[in-house]
Amino acid sequence: MSSTAIPKRVALHRNPGTDSSVPSSVAVSPLGTPRQSPSSTSLSSMSDDAENNGKMLDTYGNEFKIPDFTIKQIRDAIPAHCFERSAATGLYYVFRDAAILAAVFYLFHNYVTPETVPSFPARVALWALYTVVQGLVATGIWVLAHECGHQAFSTSKVLNDTVGWICHSALLVPYFSWKISHGKHHKATGNIARDMVFVPKTRDQYASRISKTIYELHELMEETPIATACHLVLQQLFGWPMYLLTNVTGHNNHERQPEGRGKGKRNGYFGGVNHFNPNSPLYEAKDAKLIVLSDLGLAIVLSILYLIGSKYGWMNLLVWYGIPYVWVNHWLVAITYLQHTDPTLPHYQPEYWNFARGAAATIDRDFGFVGRHILHGIIETHVLHHYVSTIPFYHADEASEAIQKVMGTHYRTEAHTGWTGFFKAMWTSSRVCHWVEPSEGTKGENAGVLFYRNTNGIGIPPVKLSK
C-alpha cells in the first residue's frame, strides 16, 4: 500500500513543496457536526479565508488541509460486524500467547543447558534469543490487556477488567491507572495542552531545554548523530517507567485540568504526578480505589518475583523475566512514539482542536508477521483505533480499510516501508521532530496547527522571529 501522506522523502533538505489536491476543509466538532469558521458563511468564502490565513506546511513542505469529515461518516463507513466482540476469541488469544511463553521457557530451561549446549558463547546467544522472543510475545499480551482497557476484548466489562488487570499486573503495568490516563490520551490526541502521550515540545519549551532563546533556534548547529543515538537509547530503556513515575511526555498543565486535582503539581520526580498515587492529578477522587487495586496487582507480582529470585537465583530471574520485561518496555515506547511522532503529523492548539482532527493525527505502519500475528495489529491499524477504540483487533484491518475511503488523503500510513521502515522511522523522527510551531506566514485557525521543525537542516526551516 502506498503512503497517502505524500511524504516526498526525496526532498528532505529544505526544499519545500506545496502541491496538494486535498479540498479545503471546515472545522469539525467532536460530535461530528461541521461548524463554520466565525468569519465565513459559505464554502467558497471559507476556502478564501483559509488561503488568506497562509499555507500550513508539514516538515517536508507538503501542504496540509484540516480534515473535513465527521465522526458519523467514519462510523457509518465501518461494517456492522466489525463492532462485534467475542469473549471466546479474546480468551483464545490470551491463552495462546501464555502457552507460547510457557513453551518457550520450557524448551530453553530444559534444553539450553551446559549438558545439552556445552559452548558458553552459544548458550549466551541462545538465551539472548530467548529474551527477544519472550519480550515480543509478552508485548502481545500487553496489547490484549490494552484491548481490555478499551472494552474491545468482550461485551463484559467485568471480564475485560479482570483479564486486563491480571495480564497487565503480570507485566508490572498498573492496569486501572494506565487505563484511565490512556483514555484521556484518546480524548485529547493531538491537543498540545491536554494530550497524555508524546506531547511534542513547543518552540519555547525546546529552546528552554537547550538554554537558547526562541530567536536563536534557526541558527543552531546540527545535533550530532551520537547525541540523537544517546537520546534514543535512553528513551527506549527508561521511557516507560519514567512515564509511569513522572508523566514524562504527558502534558504538564495539571492546574488547569478541571477533572484533576493539580494545584501545585508538576511532572517530575517530586511533582506529585504519577500513575501510582490515588491523589495524582491524573485521576479524580472516585478513581482512588481503582488506583489502589492497580498497586495491589503490582505488589502481588513483585512478591512472586522476589520469591522466585530468592529460590532460583537473581541472575536466573534477570534472564527469565527481567530482560524480557525491558524488551516489552522497549516495544511499547517504540510503537507509541512512532504512532504519534512523524514529520507529516500535525498537532493543534487547544482552541483549534477537536476529536475528528486529533484522531487523524496519528499514523499506521507495518511490522510484518510479528506485527500482525504476535503484536495483534497494534502498529498496522492505529488510526482506526483512535476513531473507534472498541473494535477488536481481529476486525481492525477490515474496519481500517473502510474508513480510508472517508479519510482520503488525511489517512496516513507508512505500511509500504515494511518492518525495516519501522526502525528507520525511529531514527528519522528523532532527527527531524524536535519541536512544533505554526507554519511561517499563517494566521487565524491555520496558525493553530503546528508541525515539527528541527535544528538539523532537514525539511522546512524554523520560522525566523524578529526580536
Higher-pLDDT residue of 407 and 465 is: 407
| Torsion on CA atoms 18, 382, 370, 294, rounded to nearest 10 | 140
What's the confidence (pLDDT) of residue 467? 64
The position carrying cell 495480564 is 167
What's the confidence (pLDDT) of residue 220? 67
- Whether residue 42 has pLDDT greater than 70: no
pTM, to two decimals: 0.87
Give the pLDDT band of residue 50 (cuts 50, 70, 90): low
- Whether residue 291 has pLDDT greater than 50: yes
What's the confidence (pLDDT) of residue 257? 66
Of 334, 391, 384, 393, nearest in space to 362 by CA: 384
- Whether residue 415 has pLDDT greater than 90: yes
Of 167, 139, 146, 179, nearest in space to 331 by CA: 139
Alpha-carbon distance 196 to 188, whole Å?
Answer: 8
Of 366, 463, 464, 374, nearest in space to 422 by CA: 366
- Whether residue 369 has pLDDT greater than 60: yes
Give mean pLDDT, residues 35-64. 65
Q: Decide if 195 contacts 181 (C-beta within 8 A).
A: no
Q: Decide if 23 contacts 3 (C-beta within 8 A).
A: no
On average, the pLDDT of the chain sits at: 88
What's the confidence (pLDDT) of residue 448? 96
Number of neighbours of residue 221 by Cβ within 10 angstroms: 8
CA angle 47, 346, 395 (to 5 degrees): 105
> Could you read off the pLDDT of 71-100 as tens digits, one per residue?
999 999 999 999 999 999 999 999 999 999
Give mean pLDDT, residues 252-263. 75
Contact residues for 41 (Cβ-Cβ < 8 A; gap 6+): none
Give mean pLDDT, residues 156-174. 98
- The three cell numbers of residue 91 are 480468551
Give the pLDDT band of residue 19 (cuts 50, 70, 90): very low
Of 241, 245, 244, 422, nearest in space to 329 by CA: 241
Half-sphere CA count of 272, side-chain side, radius 13 A: 14
Cα Rg of the chain, angstroms: 23
CA distances from 126 to 79, 328, 412 (A): 45, 18, 38
- Whether residue 17 has pLDDT greater than 50: no
Alpha-carbon distance 76 to 57, whole Å?
Answer: 31
What's the confidence (pLDDT) of residue 116? 96
Give the pLDDT band of residue 28 (cuts 50, 70, 90): very low
Alpha-carbon distance 23 to 409, whole Å?
Answer: 10
**Region of residue 85 (left: phi > 0; alpha: psi -120 to 50; beta: else):** beta
Give the pLDDT band of residue 36 (cuts 50, 70, 90): very low
Number of neighbours of residue 258 by Cβ within 10 angstroms: 5
- Whether residue 10 has pLDDT greater than 70: no
Give mean pLDDT, residues 327-337. 97
Give the pLDDT band of residue 8 (cuts 50, 70, 90): very low
Q: How much of the chain, in percent, has pLDDT values that exceed 90?
A: 78
What's the confidence (pLDDT) of residue 275? 96
CB neighbour class for 330 (10 Å; exposed up to 12, middle 13-18, buried from 19): middle
Q: Decide if 367 contacts 380 (C-beta within 8 A).
A: yes
Helices 288-312 and 175-187, packing angle to 10 deg: 130
Alpha-carbon distance 65 to 419, whole Å?
Answer: 29
Of 252, 195, 246, nearest in space to 386 by CA: 195
> Could you read off the pLDDT of 124-137 as tens digits, one per residue?
999 999 999 999 99
Highest mean pLDDT out of 47-51, 103-107, 277-281: 103-107
- Whether residue 196 has pLDDT greater than 90: yes
